[in-house]
């Protein structure tokens, strides 16, 4: 329960705060406790991997666990300092997902390096890079929390963000091949020195901020102006602009960069934000119609879309083709091997799936932790998105509501697209699982997303500073009781 | 081997349950503000009670010694019969001033009286927070809040 005692555990701000503040617990103690739990969980996972991979179990693992805890401890202190009323669940959920992701990436590294040694090839471990990215990402989280004191300041730069997002999105498509190489059939990377980054990951967040600010300023137009046709309120043609823009943009990404996942993500998120802003189902109707049309046209025009759909219908039929169903089939085999309880961490063969540590990390987790473990992981994602949505409900300004809702939806939509793809619910579209997958850009972008969510949840839970009156239930004045005491004479 | 496997899954679910427990604890405060749920709010208010004003006491004037228990409802003061504190005072207006609770603080507000309301020495022109024991003067009547 949210008893003040629990919130007061290790939160000195409560004790010395004014009377009004002490009624709202900051819950930072809960956050620290859950972070400790997360670190223990990750250390346990690492231990199991080491044991099952017949590595020598040394005291080193405990140090890794403590380092992990220290890393997130820094983030915790930053939250305590810069967003004291932020939601206590967001950071621990991210810590568990990121930590488990690191363990799985390490585990796949072990398997792949063994195979590389057998084949006499050089092998670069991915996990040190991912640890580096995690550190950078946490520093970025800190920077966002420090720089953005109030999420409403973002509205001032909305058009700048929108433009920057578009430029970043389009950059890999227009730049020549030696800077923006085509990897795995998609032209979405930029090569900067030894690193390759996906600018599209960042533009997701930037464009989301732009759309939230834009919709807040224009939403009356969508609501009011329009004609009634066949019993539904149709919006005016010129107000369709944002939908058409989103549609054109996602199609553009699809055409020029061959990145199905990102275009699906953009389109879905913008549609949901339109729906949230206007509360009108007709937008969803228009959006879905446009989507079906766009998908049909894309299917007819592009061979790589046709291939994905064919792989989705029957992965085994295209098992031996290049770019065929091999990957999805292997992922399904892995999930099947895992079954309900999984093979145990480090005891499966997740390395048989190509791209097991990025797009198909969910298959690796499903194999080693089974249905039970994967379900727990999906629930952690759900809790994360739930807390974001709840903050969006509780925050007082419209921009914050829209941005919080949009960010949470973006997060859960990524999970849906990647898990749906791996489990053959929808065609595989190749995007990373947030926080789990190997990939610096995705990690950084998702940490920015989380920092914004923390900021919004801080604004939502922060007690009001008395400038706005709280409505007091008005009783009839005649009923207000007066106690008369005899006048001393 | 089997034991560690099951143990880790149990630990993972324990984390989920711990997270859901925190979620559950916030159900009562869906708007981010504390909602008055009986038994839920009591415990949190007790700590504050020591300093919170509980009574309005008339210290000078015709009604000297009158005490009104503060229960969160606004208190109207003036010559009107339906006022909470009916002032029989030539210098008071029909609806003179109002005390109301905002958050945990009481605010005094002048309702356009002829002769004005004074908090300590300052004329009340906008809602002002009333600290404990600071006199509010309405005509010949002086009131203050006490805990």
pLDDT tens digits for range A100-159: 999 999 999 988 888 888 988 888 888 888 999 999 999 999 999 999 999 889 988 888
Among A220-234, A351-365, A465-479, which range has the highest average pLDDT? A351-365
| Helix, strand and coil percent figures for chain A, each rounded to 5 | 70, 5, 30
pLDDT value of position A71: 92
pLDDT value of position A465: 60
- Closest residue in A to B45 (Cα–Cα): A23
Residue A74, in any domain of the structure: yes
Beta strand B122-123 pairing with B105-110:
unpaired
- Give the separation between CA A265 and CA A260, rounded to whole angstroms: 9
| Pair B62, B38: CB distance under 8 Å | no
pLDDT value of position B121: 81
pLDDT value of position A3: 42
Mapping DSSP to helix (H, G, I), strand (E, B) and coil, where does residue B100 land? strand
pLDDT value of position A67: 92
pLDDT value of position B71: 79
| Pair A90, A404: CB distance under 8 Å | no
Residues 6+ apart with CB under 8 A from B100: A469, A472, B74, B75, B106, B107, B109, B127
**What's the whole-number mean pLDDT along residues B64-71?**
81
- Closest residue in B to A27 (Cα–Cα): B22
Q: Nearest CA to CA, how far is A178 from chain B (Å)?
A: 44
pLDDT value of position A8: 38
Residue A180, in any domain of the structure: yes
- Give the separation between CA A35 and CA A337, rounded to whole angstroms: 32
Full residue range of the structural domain in which residue A138 is found: 4-461
Q: Do A394 and B30 touch (CB under 8 A)?
A: yes
Residue A469, in any domain of the structure: no
A482 has pLDDT over 70: no
Q: Nearest CA to CA, how far is B13 from chain A (Å)?
A: 6
- Within 30-89 of B, beta carbons closer than 8 Å to A belong to 30-34, 40, 43-45, 47-48, 51-52, 63-69, 71-76, 82-85
Q: Do B8 and A48 touch (CB under 8 A)?
A: yes
Q: Do B28 and A2 touch (CB under 8 A)?
A: yes
- Closest residue in A to B63 (Cα–Cα): A487
Residues 6+ apart with CB under 8 A from A58: none
**What's the whole-number mean pLDDT along residues A39-49?**
92
Better pLDDT: A208 or A238: A208
**What's the whole-number mean pLDDT along residues A189-207?**
83
Better pLDDT: A467 or A270: A270
Total domains in chain A come to 1
Instruction: Among A20, A57, A376, A474, pick the best mutation site for testing chain B contact (most B Cβ within 10 A).
Output: A376
Residue A226, in any domain of the structure: yes
Q: Tell me the CA end-to-end span of chain A in Å, nearest whole number.
A: 53
A320 has pLDDT over 70: yes
Residue A119, in any domain of the structure: yes
Mapping DSSP to helix (H, G, I), strand (E, B) and coil, where does residue B39 land? coil
Strand order of the β-sheet with B141-146 is B67-69, B55-60, B141-146, B136-138, B117-119, B122-123
pLDDT confidence bin for A13, thresholds 50/70/90: very low
Q: Which residue has the tokens 């339906």?
A: B82
Residue A183's DSSP bridge partners are A186
Report in angstroms the alpha-carbon separations of A5 from A14, A31, A86, B128: 10, 14, 18, 32
pLDDT value of position B40: 43
Q: Do A89 and B23 touch (CB under 8 A)?
A: yes
- Give the separation between CA A228 and CA A231, rounded to whole angstroms: 6
**What's the whole-number mean pLDDT along residues A333-338?**
92
Q: How many CB pairs under 8 A join A and B?
A: 159
**What's the whole-number mean pLDDT along residues A346-354?**
86
pLDDT value of position A468: 46
Residue A409, in any domain of the structure: yes
- Closest residue in B to A373 (Cα–Cα): B9
Lowest mean pLDDT among A41-55, A147-161, A165-179: A165-179
Residue A344, in any domain of the structure: yes
pLDDT value of position A131: 92
Other CB atoms within 10 Å distance of the CB of residue A258: 19
Mapping DSSP to helix (H, G, I), strand (E, B) and coil, where does residue A111 land? helix
Among A102-116, B33-47, B90-104, which range has the highest average pLDDT? A102-116
Per DSSP, A481 falls in state: -
Q: Nearest CA to CA, how far is B143 from chain A (Å)?
A: 14
| Pair B60, A461: CB distance under 8 Å | no
pLDDT value of position A237: 65
pLDDT in tens, A68-105: 999 999 999 999 999 998 999 999 999 999 999 999 99
**What's the whole-number mean pLDDT along residues A325-338?**
90
| Pair B93, B113: CB distance under 8 Å | yes
Nearest partner of B104 among B132, B72, B135, B126, judged by Cα: B72
- Give the separation between CA A39 and CA B118, rounded to whole angstroms: 59
Percent of chain B surpassing pLDDT 70: 82
Nearest partner of B32 among A1, A463, A87, A394, judged by Cα: A394
| Pair A367, A338: CB distance under 8 Å | yes
- Give the separation between CA A407 and CA A388, rounded to whole angstroms: 8
pLDDT value of position A137: 94
- Give the separation between CA A436 and CA A49, rounded to whole angstroms: 16
Residues 6+ apart with CB under 8 A from A23: A4, A463, B34, B44, B45, B48, B104
Among A99-103, A111-115, A294-298, A473-477, which range has the highest average pLDDT? A99-103
Complex prediction ipTM: 0.81
- Closest residue in B to A17 (Cα–Cα): B48
pLDDT value of position B102: 80
Q: Calculate the average pLDDT of chain A.
A: 82
Q: Do B16 and A482 touch (CB under 8 A)?
A: no
Better pLDDT: A143 or B88: A143
Residue A448, in any domain of the structure: yes
pLDDT value of position A16: 37
H or E, element range at A33: helix A28-52
- In chain A, residues with a C-beta closer than 8 Å to the C-beta of B143 are none
Instruction: Among A377, A472, A473, A474, pick the best mutation site for testing chain B contact (most B Cβ within 10 A).
Output: A472
pLDDT confidence bin for A21, thresholds 50/70/90: very low
- Give the separation between CA A283 and CA A260, rounded to whole angstroms: 22
**What's the whole-number mean pLDDT along residues B8-37?**
75
Q: Calculate the average pLDDT of chain B.
A: 78
């Amino acid at each position: 329960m949210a008893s003040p005692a629990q919130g007061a555990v290790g939160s000195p701000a409560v004790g010395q705060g004014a009377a009004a503040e002490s009624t709202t617990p900051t819950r930072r103690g809960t956050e620290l406790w859950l972070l400790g739990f997360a670190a223990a969980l990750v250390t346990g996972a690492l231990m199991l991997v080491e044991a099952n991979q017949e590595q020598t179990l040394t005291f080193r693992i405990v140090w890794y666990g403590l380092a992990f805890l220290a890393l997130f401890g820094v983030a915790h202190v930053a939250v305590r300092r810069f967003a004291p009323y932020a939601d206590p669940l967001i950071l621990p959920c991210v810590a568990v997902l990121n930590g488990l992701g690191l363990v799985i990436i390490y585990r796949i590294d072990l398997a792949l390096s063994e195979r590389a040694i057998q084949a006499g090839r050089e092998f670069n471990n991915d996990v040190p890079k991912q640890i580096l990215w995690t550190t950078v990402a946490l520093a970025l989280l800190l920077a966002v929390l420090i720089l953005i004191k109030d999420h409403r300041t973002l509205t001032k730069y909305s058009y700048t963000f929108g433009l920057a997002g578009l430029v970043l999105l389009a950059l890999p498509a227009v730049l020549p091949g030696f800077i923006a190489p085509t990897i795995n059939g998609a032209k979405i990377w930029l090569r900067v020195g030894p690193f390759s980054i996906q600018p599209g990951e960042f533009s997701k967040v930037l464009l989301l901020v732009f759309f939230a600010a834009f919709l807040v300023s224009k939403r009356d137009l969508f609501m009011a102006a329009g004609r009634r046709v066949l019993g539904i309120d149709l919006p005016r043609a010129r107000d369709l602009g944002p939908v058409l823009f989103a549609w054109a943009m996602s199609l553009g990404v699809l055409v020029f960069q061959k990145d199905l996942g990102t275009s699906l993500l953009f389109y879905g998120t913008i549609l949901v934000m339109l729906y949230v802003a206007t509360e009108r189902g007709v937008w969803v109707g228009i959006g879905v119609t446009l989507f079906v049309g766009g998908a049909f046209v894309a299917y007819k025009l592009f061979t790589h879309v046709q291939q994905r759909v064919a792989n989705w219908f029957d992965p085994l039929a295209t098992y031996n083709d290049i770019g065929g169903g091999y990957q999805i089939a292997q992922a399904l085999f892995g999930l099947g091997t895992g079954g309900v309880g999984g093979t145990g961490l480090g005891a499966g063969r997740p390395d048989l799936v190509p791209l097991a540590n990025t797009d198909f990390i969910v298959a690796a987790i499903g194999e080693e932790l089974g249905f039970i473990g994967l379900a727990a992981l999906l629930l952690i994602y759900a809790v994360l998105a739930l807390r974001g949505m709840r903050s969006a409900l509780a925050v007082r300004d419209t921009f914050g509501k829209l941005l919080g809702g949009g960010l949470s939806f973006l997060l859960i939509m990524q999970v849906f697209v990647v898990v749906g793809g791996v489990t053959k619910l929808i065609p595989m579209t190749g995007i990373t699982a947030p926080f789990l997958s190997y990939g610096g850009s995705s990690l950084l972008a998702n940490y920015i997303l989380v920092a914004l969510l923390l900021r919004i949840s801080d604004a939502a839970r922060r007690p009001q500073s008395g400038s706005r009156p709280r409505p007091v239930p008005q009783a009839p004045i005649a009923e207000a009781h007066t106690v008369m005491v005899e006048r001393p004479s | 081997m089997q034991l560690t496997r099951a143990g880790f899954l149990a630990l993972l679910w324990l984390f989920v349950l711990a997270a859901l427990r925190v979620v559950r604890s916030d159900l009562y405060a869906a708007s981010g503000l504390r909602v008055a749920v009986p038994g839920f709010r009591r415990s949190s208010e007790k700590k504050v009670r020591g300093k919170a004003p509980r009574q309005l006491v008339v210290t000078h004037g015709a009604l000297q010694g009158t005490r009104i228990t503060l229960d969160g409802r606004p208190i109207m003061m003036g010559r009107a019969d339906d006022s909470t504190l009916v002032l029989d005072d030539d210098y008071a207006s029909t609806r003179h001033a109002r005390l109301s609770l905002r958050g945990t603080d009481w605010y005094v507000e002048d309702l356009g009286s002829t002769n004005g309301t004074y908090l300590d020495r300052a004329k009340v022109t906008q809602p002002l927070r009333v600290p404990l024991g600071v006199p509010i003067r309405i005509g010949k009547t002086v009131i203050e809040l006490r805990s």
